[in-house]
Structure 1
Amino acid sequence: MLTPELLHGLRNLSLAARRAAEGFLNGAHASRRHGAGMEFSQYRPYQPGDDLRRLDWRLAARSDRYYLRESEVDTSLTVHLLLDASASMNHRDDNGLTKLDYARLLLASLAYLAQQQGDSVGLTILSPAGLRHLPARADTRQLPRIYHALATAEAAGTFPDSATLAPLTARRQRALTVCVSDLYEEESEINALLTRLRAVSGDVLLLHVMAHNELAFSYHGAVTFRDLESGRTMQLDADQQRPAYQLQLQQWLRDTAQAARGKGFDYHLLSTAEPLDQAMREFLRRRITAG
């Protein structure tokens, strides 16, 4: 499995997404039905009224019987990718990656997987300056658009307010929404957005990204912490505060997961030190149920 730092080191989002996703493509096609699609499934006897273009003439010549080639057709859907680009996503892990770096790799890989499934894919980058929105499309030029938007995204400020987010929920459109965020919020604004999106669009996959040094609190001695969104600072002894920090963190993570699942979101915690495999596996699993 390729580590996030190796993928990031490629310095090519398109290549990194393809390399990360290629191991999931074999056998990953889900939610299929028989029809006149691209992949061969089985033969069935010809019946009057069937499309003659689907007859296997070579088999007919050998067996003197007429069979149609049944195919398998993927049921496609719309995938809406959301990136939290608030300033807290600039937090850097011990492996050198920020949460934003990890989110870029993850969303690029999911976009690649979705296109391979024949889905329409869109992307919205959420920042206080406004929404950078790419409407869902299934054409061949969509992936380069998404890669460019992700590669040039910058994290700044706080999570956008409800007025800025309003266009996202203005229209009802069935979709699988995938949100990548660290879920640092002032007044449940991220959860409020996802709740509205679930009401107007359907399934929500919430990928909660945390840095390993946040989860393990791998700091030592006297440390000064700065809130990336408010600018406030705090000085403390990391070794002394570690037990209390970890207790509070675990309680927050439990409460966060319980609240998200209680609202019907498919919630998963990810570490920036871990490969992207778990997230891609959950995406494909959710895609099966959504399709």
Structure 2
Amino acid sequence: MLSPELLYALRNLPLAAKQAAEGFLHGQHASRRHGVGMEFSQYRPYQPGDDLRRLDWRLAARSDRYYLRESEVDTSLTVHLLLDASASMNHRDDNGLSKLDYARLLVAALAYLATQQGDAVGLTVLHPAGLRHLPPRADARQLPRLYHALETAEATGTFPDAGTLAPLTARRQRALTVCVSDLYEENSEIENLLTRLRATSGDVLLLHLMAKNELHFTFRGPVTFEDLETGQRLQLDADQQRASWQEQLQAWLSTTAQQARRHGFDYHQLNTADPLDRAMREFLRRRALS
């Protein structure tokens, strides 16, 4: 797997997403390439915009017509990607990537992977100025739309309030919701949103994004920390506070994971220094169960 730094260095989100997803799929068993747990259901005629890799060439040779192989999962699954674009996602790791940089790569790779599985994919970028929402679609033009929304997303302000988020849960639509967030919130806004989506849409895969320098507290000596969402500052000696920081962080992470699973979310913690393969593996696993 390519490291997130190398993917980011491409400065080309569509290419980075393809490289990450194809590299991951190449390492999987050949039978998984067309979707974990998918069983053949039927053929349907080819339509402009369909993925040519799903054509049954043998049948075309025999009948002189073009048909695609479909599966039950292919025709029924909707994937709704949620990206937290609050200001805390601007936190930068020691590898030079911000959480938002990593999240863009990850969400783009998941969108590519879902599209290759035949899913209808949608995206909502969550920020206080309002939601940027692309409804789920399975057509060939959806990926460029998603990539553009991700490339132009900026992390600002605090997580959106309940009023801003209300349209997301106004309609009941069966979907696999995938949320990428650092879960920094004031009044359980993220937890409340995902709880409502769990009730209205079904399965929720929560990918909790943490920077390596947060997890391992790699800071040294006197340090000034600034809350990216409130502007508050805190001065401390990193060497003296390391043990206390890590103790409190582990307690918070443990509580966060327990609460997420108690609400029925499929919760996984990610590190911005790690390749994207674990998240893609968890996505395919959750997808197979949906």
Say which is worse superposed, 233-242 or 23-32, in terms of deviation. Answer: 23-32
Equivalent pair of 1:36/1:72 in contact (CA under 8 Å): yes
Which residue does 1:229 correspond to in 2? 229
Residue 72 of structure 1 deviates from its aligned partner by 6.3
Asked whether the equivalents of residues 41 and 72 of structure 2 are also in contact (C-alpha less than 8 Å), the reply is no
Q: Give, as a single letter, the amino acid of the residue that structure 1 aligns with 2:3.
A: T
Q: Identify the residue that residue 128 of structure 1 maps to in structure 2.
A: 128
What is the deviation of 1:151? Answer: 0.5
In structure 2, runs of 5+ residues without a counterpart are 44-53, 64-68
Cα deviation digits, residues 204-246 of structure 1 (max 9, x gap): 0000000000000000000000000000000000000000000
Name the structure 2 match of 1:67.
Answer: none
- Identity between Structure 1 and Structure 2 (%): 71
SS in 2 for 1:207: strand
SS at match of 2:6: helix
Contact 1:32 1:72 (8 Å CA) reproduced? no
Aligned partners of 2:38 and 2:288 also within 8 Å: no
How many Å separate the matches in 1 of 2:72 and 2:21?
18
Could you tell me whether the CA contact under 8 Å between 2:125 and 2:153 is conserved in 1? Answer: yes
* Counterpart residue type for residue 91 of structure 2: H
Deviations 1:63-107 (A, max 9, x none): xxxxxxxx6625121000000000000000000000000000000
- The number of aligned residues is 268
**Equivalent runs, 1:28-177 vs 2, <5 Å:** 28=33, 29-37=35-43, 38=54, 73=71, 75-76=73-74, 77-177=77-177
Which is worse superposed, 26-35 or 216-225?
26-35
Matched position secondary structure for 2:274:
coil
- Equivalent runs, 1:168-187 vs 2, <5 Å: 168-187=168-187
How far apart, CA to CA, are the structure 1 residues paired with 2:197 and 2:250? Answer: 27
Letter in 2 for 1:31: G
- Does the residue aligned with 2:131 lie in a helix, a strand or coil? strand
Q: Is 1:254 aligned to 2:254, yes or no?
A: yes
Q: Matches of 2:286 and 2:4 in 1, distance apart? A: 23
Distance in structure 2 (CA, Å) of the matches to 1:117 and 1:56: 26
CA distance in 2, matches of 1:21, 1:178: 16
TM-score (norm 2): 0.88
Give per-residue Cα distances to partners, 1:95-142, cap 9 Å, x unaligned: 000000000000000000000000000000000000000000001110
Aligned partners of 1:74 and 1:117 also within 8 Å: no
- The alpha-carbon deviation at position 14 of structure 1 amounts to 0.2
Q: Please give the alpha-carbon distance, in whole angstroms, between the structure 2 residues aligned to 1:35 and 1:249.
A: 48
On the 8 A contact 1:39/1:72 being kept in 2, the answer is no
**3-state SS, counterpart of residue 32 of structure 1:** coil
**The 10-residue stretch of structure 1 (24-33 or 236-245) with the greater mean CA deviation from structure 2:** 24-33
Give the letter aligned to residue 34 of structure 1.
F
Paired amino acid for 1:268: H
Q: Quick check: 73-82 or 228-237, which moved more? A: 73-82
Provide the rounded CA distance (Å) in 2 between the counterparts of 1:120 and 1:222: 49
8 Å contact from structure 1 (residues 39, 73) kept in 2? no
- Other structure's SS at 1:268 match: strand
Question: Which has the higher Rg, Structure 1 or Structure 2?
Answer: 1
| TM, length-normalised to structure 1 | 0.88
2:10 maps to 1:10: yes
- 1:2·1:275 contact (CA, 8 Å) conserved in 2? yes
Displaced runs of 4 or more, over 2 A: 23-28, 30-40, 53-57, 71-74
The AA in structure 1 aligned to 2:245 is Y
- For residues 279 and 35 of structure 1, the distance between their equivalents in structure 2, rounded to whole angstroms, comes to 28
